[in-house]
Every structure is written in structure tokens, then in C-alpha cells.
Structure 1
Amino acid sequence: MSRIQTVVSDLRNGLGAVKLRPDVKKVTLMFSRKSDNAGARYFLRENMPRIQYNNPAIEFEVKKVKEPGVSPELTVEFANNDIKKIPCSRIQSSDICKQFLSATTEGSA
């Protein structure tokens, strides 16, 4: 398998490789490079590419804050202007992804 085939296969499979609800409008990940933000950084590197690949119509934004002490947070905006905030402080990336998918896939409303 070539390197490109491996990358595409990884994007299509694994945690986060799902279609989100059609009313998800925007996803914002905010974190600092310091303190307890490792889960958010790993989520950005491991899970967010899969989510973006499988949901090209949704806007994704990443805010890396330089000041320490900022609590990492994943914010989901829906078409009806509802906002769901998922705190990411001291949580592993897989748990962040599971909480995100619970709030944004068809089974939830």
C-alpha cells in the first residue's frame, strides 16, 4: 500500500470518521500550547482530520492561544444557533472525540 493510500485509508476509518448531523454549522477548537491542553492537541492531530475529511461542508476553526491558563474547549455551532461547548481540560483525545460525536451525530438531538 502506498503512502497516499495509507493516509486516505486512515482518514476514512477510525475514531471520528463519520458523517455529522446536517445541522452542524461550525466546529471551533481553542487551546493553549501550555498546561493541561495535551488532549486537545492530540484531538487536533489525530481526530479532527478524519472529521474534516468526512464532513467537507462544515467550517472548522482552530484557535491556538499564546497565553497560559486558557481552558481548552471544543465548541459546536448548529444551524438553529444553538451552541454546545465541550470542555477539554485534562481529557484524552479519544474521550473528547467520543463526547463530540455524541453531541453531533444522528443519534443525538
Structure 2
Amino acid sequence: MPRKVKVIPGPSKLSQVLEVLNKVPRPALAELQALRLKMAARNDHFGARHFVRDDLPRIRYANPTLKIEVNKVKKLKEDKQWKPEIELEFRDGRKETMDLSNKLSSDIFNQLMASAGGATWNQSKLAATVPLNRADHR
């Protein structure tokens, strides 16, 4: 009778997800009250779509009280030139709108953190010895 082979299981899906969500530095947005993203529902605005898929869950996990709205608008044929945008609403009442057209998701993330990340993000960026995301590898 052959011996039963012991298999060491790999990392679980949950541990992989938690590793991504807890990646250092955390995208803490203490100065931000709300984040509103407007983009096409399909076939356009790929940087914004990848940002929603890759970076927004990490931002949500680090900022549970942040109000996040993602508005995926059906693009009509006559609306050929509208652009994706992200509107930031700060706690002091100030609003800022960023154009997301022709930007990579990592560029969108870096621009968001530069404008709303505050001093903690700048300190983390200066102290980092490894690239903060995929775009910094280039």
C-alpha cells in the first residue's frame, strides 16, 4: 500500500486578498470626506476601470468612513467626447476635480494620493525603499 502524500496547502484566497489590502503604505485619506468617480460603463476609460478594480478596494479598506460613489454611465453615440473624472470633496468644504482620460490606473492613484493623501502619504513615499505601485517599476 503506497504512503499517503502530505500536501502543504498554498495560501488561501482570503490571505491573498488581505495581503493586498494591508499593503504598506496604507492609502489613508483623513482629509477627504467623499470621492465620486464618473466613467463609461463599458468599452472606454480603461485607466479608470482598472483603478476601480485594483486600487479602490484598498482605499475603501483603509478609509471605512469615506463616502465613495462610482457612477458608470452608459455612453451614447452622440456623447463621443465626455471624459472620466473623479471629484474629491474635502472635510473643509473644498472640492477638486481631476480628469482621468488617457491615464493609467497607477497614475490616477498617485495623483489622488498626492492631492488628498496629506503629510502621512508624503512621509511614506519619501521613506519607501521599494516602489509604491506598478507604475514606479518603469
TM-score by length of 2: 0.70
Which one of the candidate residues 65, 88, 92 is aligned to 1:80?
Answer: 92
1:40-90 deviations in whole A, cap 9, x for unaligned?
Answer: 000000000000000001100000010243310011101121111111001
Question: What RMSD in Å do the two structures reach over aligned CA positions?
Answer: 1.9
Identical aligned pairs, as a percentage? 30
Q: Cα 1:44–1:14, aligned 2, differ >3 Å: closer, same or farther?
A: farther
**Counterpart for residue 37 of structure 1:** 45
Unpaired runs of 5+ in structure 1? none
Higher strand share: 1
Could you tell which deviates more after superposition, 43-52 or 33-42? 33-42
Mapped to 1, the partners of 2:38 and 2:71 lie a distance apart of 5
Aligned length: 106
SS of residue matched to 2:68: strand
TM-score by length of 1: 0.88
**Counterpart for residue 6 of structure 1:** 16
SS of residue matched to 2:19: helix
**Counterpart for residue 129 of structure 2:** none
Higher RCO (Cα < 8 Å, 6 or more apart)? 1
Which is greater in Rg?
2
Unpaired runs of 5+ in structure 2? 1-10, 122-138
Mapped to 1, the partners of 2:13 and 2:24 lie a distance apart of 17
Mapped to 2, the partners of 1:33 and 1:14 lie a distance apart of 31
Which one of the candidate residues 65, 79, 91 is aligned to 2:103?
Answer: 91
**Counterpart for residue 62 of structure 1:** 70
What letter matches 2:111 in structure 1? Q
**Counterpart for residue 28 of structure 2:** 19
